[in-house]
Amino acid sequence: MHTTLVAGWASSMDLYELAVFDPSDPDLDPMWRQGLYGPGIWVSDPYGLMGKVQPVNPVWGVEDFDPFVPGGIASHHIAVGTLGILAGLFHLSVRPPQRLYKGLRMGNIETVLSSCIVAVFFAAFVVAETMWYGSGTTPIELFGSTHYQWDQGFYDYIGNNLAKGGLFRAGSMDNGDGIAVGWLGHPILRDKEGRELFVRRMPTFFDTFPVILVDSNGIVRADVPFRSAESKNSVEQVGVTVEFYGGELNSVSYSFPATMKKYARRAQLGEIFELDRATLKSDSFFRSSP
């Protein structure tokens, strides 16, 4: 009954996600930004329906403990299956004493179900760990970047970070900041003395963070203050300009303070993307998926 309920709800949600999935832009709007999770390993088709049979030989050496070695998956299944058979034979041949039987209430169906949760918890713990750190069963093409990978690649954007905290909501990322339709480019900020400034990235457990611009030595050279009356290093005073390299705004520079502040705030989140918020009526709140 439990398996039927889980399979039924999972398949129903998967069919719904497939119905609303748009595979037209796998680069800027991949499946994991839309809240769709692939069915598993070795699947490369855009809708996750076909798949491919891939023979894998089990690995029994020390490399078996590498989560990125597919052979470890086969060997672990063989080992667990063998252990399960041996445990079944043990239970068939050994009967518990009466005191232990009554003390643990082995005749109660609720006891049987609750004790089975231990095995399910162990499997869920392993899956959660591999999802967090990444493994051969959770490729980033299907499940998105991991906590240790997200800001090392093209999707250098805090909205894609699995570890983001603060006030986020459930649902697909596209419902939060919108559909990414273009990359504006990499912003380079400089003050009037020509020093290159770097925007202090927003930590993952903050929703609001002051805009701070530091030089190569980590010295604060400019900021966007909460109160202008207390400002000593505002972008107007320091004369900060921004110039883009690559993307849609390649070689374009801005010095107008309001425009400069806008891109400095957006640079807090990482790379700057052009986002379509109208199509899905996105509300600008970070989402917790994937």
CATH code of the domain containing 205: 3.10.680.10
The amino acid sitting at 101 is: Y
Q: Is the pLDDT of residue 42 over 50?
A: no
Mean pLDDT value of segment 147-173: 62
Residue 161 pLDDT class (50, 70, 90 cuts): low
User: What pairs with residue 114 in β-bridges?
Assistant: none
Residue range of the domain that includes 239: 154-276
What gap in Å lies between CA 127 and CA 41, rounded to an integer? 13
**Quick check: is 69 in a domain?**
no
Instruction: Provide the 3-class DSSP secondary structure of residue 157.
Output: strand
**Quick check: is 96 in a domain?**
no
Q: Which residue has the higher pLDDT, 172 or 223?
A: 223
Q: Is the pLDDT of residue 101 over 80?
A: yes
Q: Which pLDDT value is given to residue 197?
A: 93
**Quick check: is 35 in a domain?**
no
**Quick check: is 225 in a domain?**
yes
Q: Which pLDDT value is given to residue 184?
A: 92
Mean pLDDT value of segment 202-209: 69
Helix, strand, coil fractions of the chain, as percent rounded to 5? 40, 15, 45
What lies within 8 Å, CB to CB, of 93 at 6+ separation is none
List pLDDT tens digits, range 119-141: 788 888 888 777 777 777 777 66
Helix (H) or strand (E) holding 81: helix 70-93
Q: Which residue has the higher pLDDT, 75 or 131?
A: 75
**Quick check: is 133 in a domain?**
no
**Quick check: is 62 in a domain?**
no
Mean pLDDT value of segment 251-279: 89
What gap in Å lies between CA 277 and CA 159, rounded to an integer? 14
Mean pLDDT value of segment 47-51: 56
**Quick check: is 47 in a domain?**
no
Q: Which pLDDT value is given to residue 149?
A: 61
Q: Is the pLDDT of residue 95 over 80?
A: yes
Number of domains in the chain: 1
Q: Which pLDDT value is given to residue 146?
A: 66
- What phi, psi does 242 have (nearest 5°)? -130, 135
- What phi, psi does 39 have (nearest 5°)? -75, -10
Q: Ranked by mean pLDDT, which of 9-13, 174-178, 192-196 comes out on top?
A: 192-196
Mean pLDDT value of segment 265-270: 85
Contact 71, 135 (CB under 8 A): no
What gap in Å lies between CA 198 and CA 186, rounded to an integer? 12
What gap in Å lies between CA 159 and CA 204, rounded to an integer? 9
What gap in Å lies between CA 16 and CA 23, rounded to an integer? 15
For the chain, give the mean pLDDT. 79
Q: Which pLDDT value is given to residue 63?
A: 86
Q: How far apart are the first and last CA of the chain?
A: 28
**At which residue do the structure tokens 């996600």 appear?**
17
Where helices occur in 169-286 by DSSP H, the ranges are: 235-238, 257-267
Contact 266, 201 (CB under 8 A): no
Nearest CA among 218, 260, 267, 265 for reference residue 239? 260
Q: Which residue has the higher pLDDT, 281 or 164?
A: 281
Q: Is the pLDDT of residue 166 over 60?
A: no
Helix (H) or strand (E) holding 9: helix 2-20
Peptide linkage before 290 cis (omega within 30 of 0): yes
Q: Which pLDDT value is given to residue 287?
A: 76
Residue 205 pLDDT class (50, 70, 90 cuts): low
**Quick check: is 160 in a domain?**
yes
Mean pLDDT value of segment 140-159: 62
What gap in Å lies between CA 267 and CA 166, rounded to an integer? 19
- The whole-model pTM stands at 0.59
Q: Which pLDDT value is given to residue 25?
A: 83
